[in-house]
A = this chain, B = another copy of it.
Amino acid sequence: MVKYSATLDSTFGALADPTRRAILASLMLGEASMSDLAGPHRMSLPAVMKHVRVLQNAGLVAQKKIGRTRFCRLSPTPLKHAEDWIAQYRRFWEGTFDSLERFLSQDPPPEKQTEQQKENQSWPHRNRSRKTRSS
Taking CB atoms, residues of chain B closer than 8 Å to A103 are 31, 62, 64, 73
Taking CB atoms, residues of chain B closer than 8 Å to A10 are 16
Count of chain copies: 2
A33 within 8 A of B: yes
Interface, chain A (partner B; CB < 8 A)? 5, 8-13, 15-18, 21, 24-25, 28-33, 36, 62, 64, 66-67, 69, 71, 73-77, 79-80, 82-83, 85-90, 92-93, 100, 103-104, 109-111, 122-126, 128-129, 132-133
The 7 A-B pairs with the shortest beta carbon distances in the complex, nearest first, are A76-B92, A12-B16, A13-B16, A76-B93, A30-B124, A12-B15, A80-B93
